[in-house]
Structure 1
Amino acid sequence: MWLQIASPRAFQDSPELAWGFYGHRLSLYRETVPHAGFELLKRWGKKTINGLSVFTSNVDGQFQKAGFDPALVYDCHGSIHHLQCLAPCREDVWSAEDFLPDVDQDSCRLRNAPPMCPHCGALARPNVLMFGDWAWIERRSASQADRQEKWLSQVSRPVVIELGAGTAIPSVRHFSHRVIHEFGGRLIRINPGEWEVPTRLDVGLPMGAANGLVSIAKILGDEWCSPATGGGDG
């Protein structure tokens, strides 16, 4: 079911069901409060010479919601908070802030009008990379990637703090290992089930993201607070 809904074909065959699924997620992400670990990451980044850069496969926008500079974030799979034309009629991406989904929780179907393309009037869809997706508009994410590449070219001995990134969809893991091999970086992998690290110089912590970051803060003697419910890893 997940594979069928998380695809552009679902918006063509059953737009009410597809937007019911993604509209429900959009509402949840808008209501989710980022956990305390995000604040720790921001504070640590401010203490470094070159600051920080975020690579995330999550589409929930939690880093931006937690107050990270959007110019420092690379959403490699897009963002549910942005829309594009389903066709698409042109390479345009726009904010979803004006769309307020009304979803029937029992049937997971959208009850109100779905968002439409402002250019051609066709159905709009989330600017998220889905399964079997050849129509995803990558322009926004590509611009983010360019900024991150520029940042990587200016840093030395970067440290990757990898949060909750598994091997099923290994986009984040590929990035982490690339930083190790191409930029001489080191890795701190925080993952409750897949915490093993590629070299003896890296660190693996078998725990959730919020607890892992707070545990690091304790070791560093940094100020910290108990993790709040919510947020997402990536």
Structure 2
Amino acid sequence: MQIEQAAAWIRQADGLLLTAGAGMGIDSGLPDFRGPGGFWGVYPALGRARIAFEAIANPAAFERNPALAWGFYGHRLALYRQTKPHAGFAMLLALAEKLEHGAFVFTSNVDGHFKKAGFPAERVCEVHGSISHLQCAAACSEEIWPADSFQPEVDSENCLLIGDPPLCRRCGQLARPNILMFNDWQWLERRSALQRQNLQRWLATVDRLVTLEIGAGTQVPSVRNFSERQPGRLIRLNPNEPEIAHRPDALALPLGALKGIEQLYQAFA
């Protein structure tokens, strides 16, 4: 059985690389903009205005309509803060504790839920940035700072920020999330680049690597491509796109995040 084989691979590993896409958060109750309901199903006000995900998740949106752009990102920030990571995160932590070099996370998710669930900050690489950090919208400097003091209040019906948006601590102009957006030439990648350096140092210590990829799709294939470039064995959990090009050291499991992790955890014990 493939689950038993996957669990055996993890038992034989000395390090577990967890690579995760948007599918990791679905079982926590977070929306998947590319799922059955679609982006406009989650943000009907943007649907009524025919504003696509690629248009609002874009630096130009902060120039055109800061209240609308921060309505979208402010709603997401509040949602991620309020949502509890599902039980699969704790199971992954428990698996990591059994391996010599533990686990490292590589994720395109900006929700911060791996750290919220207890993964050490120095063992997480957020390749697309973090909604919990801010930068100047004009990139007046290289400064990136926590968004802790910003408590967005959003008119959800109209997807508009109520009140003042966050401002740059250096120049006083509009701030934006430190997230890589579409057509984004001003994203400050220094924080993510340092995380990636931590990841490379960790990988250099691991001899028997297993990569466990969870909920990473093909539309924005950053995570899938990264997973497939790693040495060692690859386990892919994806209910809709589990396929892997034929290789003897890979397993494709058509399972969602929580269900797949639960089955792996039970088989590992």
TM-score, normalised via structure 1 length:
0.91
- Equivalent residue for 2:193? 142
**CA-to-aligned-CA distance 1:120-175 (integer Å, 9 cap, x gap):** 00100000000000000001000000010011111112101100001111111111
Q: How many matched pairs?
A: 217
Structure 1 residue ranges without an equivalent (≥5) = 223-234
SS at match of 1:218: helix
Residue type of the alignment partner of 2:256: G
Instruction: Write out aligned runs for 1:41-52 (5 A).
Output: 41-52=92-103
Residue type of the alignment partner of 1:197: I
- Is 2:231 aligned against 1:217? no
Q: Is the 8 A contact 2:238 2:254 kept in 1?
A: yes
Q: Is the 8 A contact 2:59 2:184 kept in 1?
A: yes
Q: Runs in 1 of length 4+ with deviation above 3 angstroms?
A: none
- Is 2:139 aligned against 1:88? yes
- Equivalent residue for 1:111? 162
Q: Tell me the CA shift for residue 197 of structure 1.
A: 2.2
Structure 2: distance between partners of 1:109 and 1:84:
20
- Is 2:207 aligned against 1:207? no
- Equivalent residue for 2:235? 188
Task: Tell me the percent identity.
Answer: 53
Residue type of the alignment partner of 1:67: G
Residue type of the alignment partner of 2:261: L
SS at match of 1:27: helix
Choose which of 206, 211, 214 in structure 2 pairs with 1:155: 206
SS at match of 1:207: coil
Structure 2 residue ranges without an equivalent (≥5) = 1-51
- Equivalent residue for 1:56? 107
SS at match of 1:19: helix
Higher relative contact order (CA 8 A, sep 6+): 2
**CA-to-aligned-CA distance 1:47-102 (integer Å, 9 cap, x gap):** 11111110000000000100100000000000000000000110010000100001
Once structures 1 and 2 are overlaid, which stretch shifts more, 148-157 or 116-125? 148-157
- Is 2:62 aligned against 1:11? yes
Structure 2: distance between partners of 1:203 and 1:33:
29
- Equivalent residue for 1:229? none
Choose which of 120, 135, 144 in structure 1 pairs with 2:171: 120
Q: Is the 8 A contact 2:212 2:235 kept in 1?
A: yes
Residue type of the alignment partner of 2:242: W
SS at match of 1:53: strand
- Equivalent residue for 1:37? 88
CA RMSD of aligned residues (A): 0.8
- Is 2:127 aligned against 1:76? yes
Residue type of the alignment partner of 2:252: G
Structure 1: distance between partners of 2:113 and 2:192:
16
TM-score, normalised via structure 2 length:
0.79
Q: Is the 8 A contact 2:95 2:265 kept in 1?
A: no
- Is 2:20 aligned against 1:20? no
Q: Tell me the CA shift for residue 200 of structure 1.
A: 3.0
- Equivalent residue for 2:117? 66
Structure 2: distance between partners of 1:216 and 1:121:
49
Structure 1: distance between partners of 2:243 and 2:210:
16
Structure 2: distance between partners of 1:215 and 1:204:
14
